[in-house]
Amino acid sequence: MVVSRRVFTAGLAAGVAAPALIGRAGAQGATVKIGMVVPVTGAAAESGSFAQTGARIALEQVNKAGGVLGKPLELVTEDDQTTNPGAVLAFSKLASQPDIVAFLGSIRSTQMHAMAPEMMKIGKPVGFGGTDPGLTKLGNPWLFRFRPNDSYSGKVIAQYGAQTLGKKKWAIVHSTDAFGTAGAKALTEALPDNGSTLALDQGYANQSQDFTPVVLAVRQSGAEILGTYFTFETDLGIFARQLRQLGVTVPWVGSPSIVNLSALKLAGPALFNTFGVADYAEDSSDASKTFAKAYREVRKVAPDNQSSWTYDAVTVLAMAMNKAGTTEPGKVRDAMLTIRGHKGAEGEYNFDRNGDGLHGYNIVKNEKGDIKFDKRIDFTPQLG
């Protein structure tokens, strides 16, 4: 028998590929898979590692409790490279795997906006952490938010500044990306309800090396209080240092990044005595404390919101699939929308018809580097 080169090559390829294909076929259906888009490289790589830890703690707990529909839950991750194109590519790679039944998107609103059209096409539930209020108003029924959106953070910051700190003339400094712009808009809109006025609205581009012009603008505005929406901790660290160096000492209430571990490490004393709205605060509830204990056992440091939302998202998605009794996307979505009063690390989950699960924020204070819980401010959601 004469074996042609083509036949030989095809046979060799089949021989090499067969074990992998057989193994893969056998593995299909053995686990329930959740795909996770997460920064492994790029500017947000550090927070990405926190996010993975949160998700894996939940994964372990779900599996210890019997898994999903009697099968172990499995996490499949893809690096978004901390960029929008990277996020779209990462989601596309995950979406091409038909056995992935749900996804974890990004904590960054700008990346969520980039991925949202593809998420709409795939038609499977996506838990995410981006806080731009517009994300759950895109008409995309598959998006479920596991952090309170910025319309709440804006309301909480404005209310706390006016009613607790007694300051009403605001300077707002924010990133010009989707998160920062939406946050600043929400805060600006909340000011009149609290008898406050806007002295300065100052945007900046991410990854700046110098904030002197921004700080000088704040100083010249005559503002009594500063509200900020920073996306990257390195930017926040540079800004905080320059703010103090140039003598600006007005009270400062920031978005959640102001209490992120990286920001605390980088800015150090420059962030002492600042306030932050924090979707995650360890002392805010028993569920938050339980999560913190589990996280410390793994990472040996306190958790922050980078990990708490992914922990909640994996837990709640698993809960919804078990409640639905299937991984069929439409039924999982319906089950998500009926979740009421689930006590997660971030707070109490009650999903409204838009897919927003949380409706309030904690206020915390930086006391010499220790983040102390002050109060929680919740708003009544319109549940569908």
CB of 177 or CB of 346, closer to another protein: 177
d(CA 182, CA 196): 19
The β-bridge partners of 363 are 277, 375
CB of residue 125 vs another protein: minimum separation in angstroms?
28
CB of residue 225 vs another protein: minimum separation in angstroms?
20
Pairing assessment for the beta strands 360-367 and 370-378 based on DSSP bridges:
antiparallel
The β-bridge partners of 228 are 173, 254
> Over the range 198-231, which residues count as b (16 or more CB within 10 Å of their CB) and which as e?
bbbbbebebeeeebeebbebbbebebbbbbbbbb
CB of residue 268 vs another protein: minimum separation in angstroms?
7
d(CA 14, CA 312): 43
> CB of 356 within 8 A of CB of 348?
no
CB of 210 or CB of 370, closer to another protein: 210
25 Cβ contact partners less than 8 Å away, ≥ 6 residues apart: none
DSSP element (H, E) containing 371: strand 370-378
| Sites of contact with another protein (CB under 8 A) | 41-43, 45-46, 48-49, 176, 202-205, 207-210, 212-214, 216-217, 220, 233-234, 237-238, 245-247, 262, 265-266, 268
CB of residue 46 vs another protein: minimum separation in angstroms?
4
CB of residue 310 vs another protein: minimum separation in angstroms?
16
Taking CA atoms, 4 is separated from 13, 17, 162, 204, in Å, by 14, 20, 83, 65
CB of 141 or CB of 203, closer to another protein: 203
Give the single-character DSSP code of 121.
H
CB of 66 or CB of 268, closer to another protein: 268
DSSP element (H, E) containing 173: strand 169-175
CB of 114 or CB of 243, closer to another protein: 243
d(CA 275, CA 373): 10
CB of residue 313 vs another protein: minimum separation in angstroms?
21
The β-bridge partners of 104 are 36, 127
Q: Hey, what are 293's tokens? A: 């204990």
CB of 224 or CB of 235, closer to another protein: 235
Pairing assessment for the beta strands 169-175 and 225-229 based on DSSP bridges:
parallel
CB of residue 305 vs another protein: minimum separation in angstroms?
17
CB of residue 288 vs another protein: minimum separation in angstroms?
24
CB of 38 or CB of 336, closer to another protein: 38
CB of 158 or CB of 243, closer to another protein: 243
